[in-house]
């Protein structure tokens, strides 16, 4: 069995092993990390040898940590990362490069249709009708997208939304409200088989699916990191938020994951605070008292046009995993339009948590 795990902000960990009678055998840990002293790698392998195959990632990490020689230095490597790589090997997880990725980057669409496309395309990946897909959104109108479980009245000021012509919709994923305007936001969705994140905790899957973005931002001179559970942050402030939904396997298909992210390219902070009701309790754990200071847009940090930031992100993804140009099929679009009409654009769905 073979498992790989790119530690967020670190290096690649590779584990090869066998499983015999419920225990790990012939465990071999490798990767492009740095480790001192040399004999520490033998201690790591020995610590995992004979471990019950049902041991969770934390238990495996504890075995590794306890076996390390005094003074061991690990750079780009953690005991927890080794545990994840072992679990991914046992789960027979896939890797990014196992797939033929497709890019969809079409023109502006209504926000309800964007949300419907996320659901339909992820269902198509689960059914095996389309390859794993990266889709970049283009905005038609200003919008607020609230999380699946948020209270509409607590999150949105209806007078502010009406004043600025903002469409309010509810997505199928959790998380907080996002204020978007054409030209000010960068949103992308990943529709992937869940095998890609097998062996990862729910929290770890967020950072794993966005590791490529951190690299792309780094190439643009931005040092970014994941701030659990679902924020991408820099020294200047938060720049993005992510959300996920798991899709059950249809008959003859596989489970799939929808992962979408909105990044702030630019921001009209005054308009945002007129439309969103951002409470003190939400801000209290962010280390700031001002909603306007919570998000620091990419325009300021990169000095690049929005289109160039997107092009750089796409190029980074393509260089790492490959990425072919694609499009939404007529059938997918027809289904998405109907889903938008009956669900995402309906008052019943938007107000399901008043």
pLDDT for 39-75, tens place per residue? Answer: 999 999 999 999 999 999 999 999 999 999 999 999 9
Q: What is the pTM of this model?
A: 0.92
Confidence of residue 286 (pLDDT cuts 50, 70, 90): very low
| Angstrom distance (rounded) from CA 165 to CA 174 | 24
What percent of the chain lies above the pLDDT cut of 70?
95
Give the model's pLDDT for residue 296: 85
Residues 108 and 328: their CA atoms lie apart, in Å, by 13
> Can you read off the two tokens belonging to residue 22?
């419920």
Strand order in the sheet with 102-104: 224-227, 231-234, 237-247, 256-264, 185-193, 133-136, 102-104, 324-325
pLDDT reading at 267 higher than 50: yes
What is the mean predicted confidence (pLDDT) over 78-97?
A: 96
pLDDT band at 295 (very low <50, low <70, confident <90, very high): confident
Instruction: List the alpha helices (DSSP H) in 6-56.
Output: 40-48
Structure tokens at 95: 């890797």
Q: What are phi and psi of 11, to 5 degrees?
A: -115, 175
DSSP H stretches of helix in 40-170: 40-48, 57-67, 79-90, 111-127, 152-155, 158-163
**Residues whose CB is less than 8 angstroms from the CB of residue 155 and which lie 6 or more positions away in sequence, other chains included:** 144, 146, 176, 177, 276, 277
């Amino acid at each position: 069995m073979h498992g790989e795990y790119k530690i967020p902000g670190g290096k690649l960990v590779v584990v090869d092993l066998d499983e015999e009678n419920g225990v790990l055998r012939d465990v071999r840990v490798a990767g492009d990390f740095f480790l001192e002293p040399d004999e520490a790698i033998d201690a790591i392998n020995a610590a995992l040898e004979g471990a019950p195959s049902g041991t969770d990632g934390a238990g495996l990490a504890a075995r590794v940590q306890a076996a390390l020689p005094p003074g061991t230095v690990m750079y780009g490597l953690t005991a927890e990362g080794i545990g994840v790589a072992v679990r991914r090997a046992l789960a027979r997880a896939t890797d990014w490069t196992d797939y033929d990725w497709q890019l969809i980057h079409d023109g502006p669409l209504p926000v309800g249709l964007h949300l419907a496309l996320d659901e339909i395309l992820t269902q198509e990946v689960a059914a095996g009708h389309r390859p794993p897909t990266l889709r970049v959104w283009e905005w038609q109108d200003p919008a607020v997208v609230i999380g699946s479980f948020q209270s509409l009245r607590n999150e949105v000021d209806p007078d502010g939304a009406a004043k600025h012509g903002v469409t309010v919709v509810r997505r199928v994923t959790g998380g907080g409200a996002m204020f978007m305007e054409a030209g000010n936001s960068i949103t992308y969705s990943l529709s992937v088989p869940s095998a890609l994140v097998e062996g990862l905790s729910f929290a770890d899957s967020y950072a794993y699916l966005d590791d490529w973005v951190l690299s792309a931002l780094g190439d643009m001179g931005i040092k970014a990191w994941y701030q659990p559970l679902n924020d991408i942050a820099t020294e200047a402030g938060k720049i993005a938020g992510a959300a996920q939904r798991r899709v059950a396997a249809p008959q003859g298909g596989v489970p799939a994951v929808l992962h979408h992210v909105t990044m702030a390219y630019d921001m009209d902070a005054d308009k945002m605070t007129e439309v969103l009701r951002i409470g003190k309790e939400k801000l209290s754990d962010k280390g700031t008292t001002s909603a306007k200071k919570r998000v620091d847009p990419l325009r300021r940090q990169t000095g690049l046009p929005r289109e160039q930031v997107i092009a750089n992100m796409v190029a980074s993804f393509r260089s790492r995993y490959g990425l072919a140009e694609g499009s939404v099929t007529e059938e997918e679009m027809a289904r998405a339009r109907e889903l938008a009409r009956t669900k995402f654009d309906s008052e019943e769905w938007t107000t399901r948590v008043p």
